[in-house]
């Protein structure tokens, strides 16, 4: 079994749509980034790349690449999972903690899972999504940024999970 850890943080800014966990969430600010800024997917990608020994998201998808400007991160995740498959690696389980003062994310987790679990090739119960606030502390606590931690385990083999 292989395990990888991912972390990411993006600033929140007015005038950007908020994409998190592959879905658009109504909010007065969005995440700043060269891509759509989806901090959950970026942390998951780094966990997958760490487990597969393929470096990190910045190396694979550099923010100097104009072709990746405002790219939807779901597209990057698809690319990463297909790279894993070429190495005969499958996602076994992913667990996520997203740290955001607002908006409250719990109501969106089911919709995120419906998007992310099929991309990862896992049943819904092999993708954990959890949210915490930062208790008002620091820039995240003041609503200036959202951070995310992710851990992923991979297994070798080509058999898919059946959807539940």
# residues contacting Mg ion (CB under 5 A)? 2
Q: Is the Cβ–Cβ distance between 72 and 37 less than 8 Å?
A: no
Q: Which stretch binds Mg ion (CB under 5 A): 12-20, 39-47, 111-119, 139-147?
A: 39-47
Interaction of residue 8 with Mg ion, rule CB under 5 A: yes
Q: How far is the CB of 42 from Mg ion (least distance, A)?
A: 4
Q: Which stretch binds Mg ion (CB under 5 A): 4-12, 14-22, 73-81, 132-140?
A: 4-12
Site for Mg ion in 40-79 (CB under 5 A): 42
CB neighbour class for 107 (10 Å; exposed up to 12, middle 13-18, buried from 19): exposed
Q: How far is the CB of 150 from Mg ion (least distance, A)?
A: 12
Rank residues 90 and 116 by Cβ distance to Mg ion and give the closer one: 116
Q: Is the Cβ–Cβ distance between 46 and 150 less than 8 Å?
A: yes
Rank residues 58 and 138 by Cβ distance to Mg ion and give the closer one: 58
Rank residues 42 and 126 by Cβ distance to Mg ion and give the closer one: 42
Number of C-beta neighbours around residue 160 at 10 A: 10
Q: How far is the CB of 43 from Mg ion (least distance, A)?
A: 8
List alpha helices for 69-137, DSSP H. Answer: 73-86, 109-120
Q: Is the Cβ–Cβ distance between 1 and 91 less than 8 Å?
A: no
**Strand partners of residue 149:** 7, 97
Selection from 11, 18, 9, 69 nearest residue 39 by Cα? 9
Interaction of residue 16 with Mg ion, rule CB under 5 A: no
List interacting residues with Mg ion (CB under 5 A): 8, 42
């Amino acid at each position: 079994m292989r395990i990888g850890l991912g972390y990411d943080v993006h600033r929140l800014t007015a005038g950007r749509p908020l994409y998190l966990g592959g879905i658009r969430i109504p909010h007065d600010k969005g995440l700043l980034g060269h891509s759509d800024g989806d901090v959950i997917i970026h942390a998951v990608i780094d966990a997958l790349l760490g487990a597969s020994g393929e470096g990190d998201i910045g190396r694979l998808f550099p923010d100097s690449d104009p072709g990746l400007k405002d790219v939807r991160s779901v597209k990057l995740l698809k690319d990463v999972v297909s790279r894993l498959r070429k190495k005969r690696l499958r996602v076994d389980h992913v667990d996520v903690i997203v740290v955001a003062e607002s908006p409250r994310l719990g109501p969106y987790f089911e919709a995120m899972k419906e998007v992310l679990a099929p991309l990862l090739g896992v049943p819904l119960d092999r993708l954990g999504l959890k949210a915490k606030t930062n208790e008002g502390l620091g820039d995240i606590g003041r609503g200036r940024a959202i951070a995310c931690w992710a851990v992923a385990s991979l297994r070798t083999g080509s058999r898919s999970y059946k959807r539940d």
